[in-house]
Amino acid sequence: MRPRLRPRGDPGYAAADAPHRFAARRRRTRRGTRHRGGPVVSGALAPGVHELVLAHAREASDRANPGAVATDDPALAAELVAEGRPVRPVEAEALAEGPLAAVLLTGEELSFAGEGAEALVDAVAGALPPEGLLVATARNRVFAEAAGLPLGGVRGYAASDLDRLLGHRGFAIDLLCAPGAAGRLRASLVEHALPDAAPLDVERDRSPGLLDAAPGLLAVARAPRDAADREERFFATLPRKVVAAAVLCRADDGRLLCVYDRFKGHWTIPGGVVDPDESPRDGAEREAWEETGVRVAAGPALGLFAGSWPDRLVIVYDAVPVGGGAPTTGAAHHHEVGEAAWLDLPEALERLAPGPAFQVRRCLAEPGGTWPQPGA
C-alpha cells in the first residue's frame, strides 16, 4: 500500500514521500503525452540518461554539502533521498524556498511549459547558486517534423532553440545532445529498423550532425557565475548580422568611382565588410583605398540596405576623393579587383550590376532612406 503523503511541514516529507509525490504529479501532468525513443521512454529516462543525470546531480549536491536537488522524476528522487540528499519537487513554491544545488527538468518540462518555458528557466536561474546545475530534456522539433510525428500540442525545440533558450538566461551549456541518435542510426543501418529506444552515446550523440536524429534533446548547463558572466552569455545568443559599408564617391565633374569585382564577376561601388572594432565609416574609407588606391573622405550616410543572404546591412556613404590620384587596380586587393575607374554616371549605371545600381539610384533620389536589397 502506498503511504499517505505527509504535509509539506512534516520532517519526514522528503525522506519518505518524495518519490510517491513526484510520481503522482508526473502521472497527472504527463499521462498520454509521451513519445517513443526520446530522452523519456514510458515515463522513465532512456538507457544511460538516468545514470548521467544522477552523476551530475550528485556532484552538484556534494559541492553544497549536500545541496538540495529539485526533480519530479520518481526514480531520481528515490535514489537521491536514499543517499540522504534533500529533494524538492519542481514547483514555484519549492524553487522559492532557498538555494538549490541542482534542478532536474528531465520530464520534458520545457516542452510542456509551452510559451511559459522562458519564465520557468528564469525561475530556475533565480533558485540556483552561481554555477548551479540545470539538466533539461525537451522534444526535438526537427526530428518530429522530419518523421511526421505530431508534437501533441507541446513545444518542440531544435537544438539551436534549446541552446538559445538557456544561453539567453546566462546558462553555460556543458552538454547538448540527442540521446540515442547514434544507436538509432547504427540500428537502422545494421538491422534496417529503428528501435523504440537506444542507449546514450554521449560523444556521438552530441555531434552536430546527429542533433536532429533522435526524438528528444538533453542539455546539461551551469548557472552564470555573476552578472557579467550572464551578460556575456546573453550576448552570445543574439543573432549575428554582417555589416558592410560602401562609398558613393563622385569627382568634381560628377564621375562615379567604380570597381570591377573579379570574385563576383561584375561592376560595383567600392565597399566591403566592416572589420571588428571598426566603425562603418572608417570601414568604407578603408575599403575604397584598398580597392581603388584613392583616398576618400566619407560623409553622411546616403542609404541603408538590408539583405537576407547573408543576413546583412550595407551602409552607403556619400564620399569625395582626397588628394587627387587616379584609380589603380586595387591598392591592396589585387586578387579581388580587376579594374578601378571613374565613370560618367550614365555609363556607370549601365555597367553596375543590378544590386549596386539600385543602391546608387536610391541614394541619389532619396538620400537617407532605408530599403530592402532586391534579390538578396
Judged against a pLDDT cut of 50, whether residue 4 lies above it is answered with: no
Mean pLDDT value of segment 210-231: 93
Q: What is the DSSP string of 69-105?
A: EEE--HHHHHHHHHTT--EE-SSHHHHTSS--SEEEE
**pLDDT tens by residue, 189-204:** 876 666 666 889 999 9
**pLDDT tens by residue, 312-344:** 999 999 999 997 767 765 555 567 888 999 999
> Where would I find the H helices in 33-178?
49-63, 74-82, 92-95, 109-112, 117-127, 141-147, 159-167
**pLDDT tens by residue, 110-163:** 999 999 999 999 999 999 999 999 999 999 999 999 989 899 889 999 999 999
- Measured in residues, the chain has a length of 376
* Residue 260, Ramachandran bin (φ over 0: left; ψ between -120 and 50: alpha; else beta): beta
**pLDDT tens by residue, 28-39:** 444 434 444 567
Number of Cβ within 10 Å of residue 369's Cβ equals 13
Mean pLDDT value of segment 2-18: 37
Instruction: Quote the mean pLDDT of the chain.
Output: 86
* CATH level 2 (architecture), domain 13-236: 3-Layer(aba) Sandwich (3.40)
Helix (H) or strand (E) holding 175: strand 172-177
For residue 319, the number of C-alpha atoms closer than 13 Å in the C-beta half-sphere is 32
Helix (H) or strand (E) holding 362: helix 354-365
**pLDDT tens by residue, 60-92:** 999 988 789 999 999 999 999 999 999 999 988
**pLDDT tens by residue, 362-374:** 999 999 999 999 8
Closest C-alpha among 317, 309, 302, 288 to residue 373: 309
DSSP symbol at 192: S
Own/partner pairs for 113-118, CB < 8 Å, 24+ apart? 113/155, 114/154, 114/155, 115/155, 117/155, 117/165, 118/165, 118/168, 118/169
Query: Where do the domains of the chain lie?
Result: 13-236, 242-372
Judged against a pLDDT cut of 80, whether residue 352 lies above it is answered with: yes
* CATH level 2 (architecture), domain 242-372: Alpha-Beta Complex (3.90)
Cell of 361: 539610384
Decide if 90 contacts 135 (C-beta within 8 A). Answer: no
DSSP symbol at 342: E
